[in-house]
Amino acid sequence: MTIFVAAILKTWQQLYSPSERHLTASLYSLAFAANIGAVSFTFPASLAGLLWRGLLLQKGVHIRPAEFLRRCVPV
């Protein structure tokens, strides 16, 4: 999805020539959203959470959703 939105921003830049300030804000917003999306309060909210949970289950480690939430809140 990040690559898709980056392509949209590139097209937007070519078609509408936004100000440098708007383009910079858009790129920073995209980078922030792409990275913060991996930090969530539930496993299925992000692919990273699902992969992490799958790896733990393979190793016999069971994490309850409440424990996952407790560990993610400070982040």
In angstroms, the Cα distances linking 5 to 12, 19, 64, 73 are 10, 18, 34, 27
- The rounded distance, in Å, linking the Cα atoms of 59 and 64 is 15
**How far apart are alpha carbons 27 and 71 in whole angstroms?**
29
Coil, strand or helix at 37: coil
The model carries a pTM of 0.51
Residue 60: CB atoms within 10 A of its CB come to 6
Query: Per-residue confidence of the chain (75 residues) as pLDDT tens digits?
Result: 778 888 999 999 999 999 999 999 998 888 877 766 656 666 666 777 778 888 889 999 888 888 877 877 776
